Amino acid sequence: MEDVLTEASAQGSLSGISLRLFNVYGVGLDKSLINRLAYGDTSVRLRLGAPFVRDYIHVDDVANAIHASISAADLQSGGVVNVGTGIGTSNADLHRGARPGSYETYLSDEPSFSVADTGRMREVLQIFPRPLAENP
């Protein structure tokens, strides 16, 4: 869909962009891993072993990015904007910060890394989200 939107925008038949949201957490997102760990959901299984890194962004920062994208003239030509913090948080970090006994762990030997390149978001939208470690 991103390619279709970009092409339609380039042809002038449609104006829009794609916002690629990374791992959103916060009020109203009860299924988010971060929320589930914070609320002590004992059904959480946290993967340890090989590095497992994700970019967690607060829902308020996502709302700010959506709001900014609506009026950003530089984005009307289409394209993609990654909405994240650009900072990875590993499951090992989550393991150290979560309440002991509030989740299960399992081991994996396959690394996984997904962190947003936030250059376009910061440049065009002027959004500078706080990383997970700095959010409540």
Q: Phi/psi at 105 (nearest 5 deg)?
A: -120, 155
Q: Give residue limits of the domains in the chain.
A: 2-126
Residue 5 has pLDDT above 90, yes or no: no
Instruction: Find the angle CA(96)-CA(98)-CA(112) to the nearest 5 degrees.
Output: 65
With beta carbons less than 8 A apart as the criterion, state whether 64 and 123 touch: no
pTM of the predicted protein model? 0.87
CATH number of 2-126: 3.40.50.720
CA distance 50 to 71: 42
Average pLDDT over residues 53-81: 87
The predicted-structure confidence for 91-116, as pLDDT tens digits, reads as follows: 999 998 888 888 889 999 999 999 99
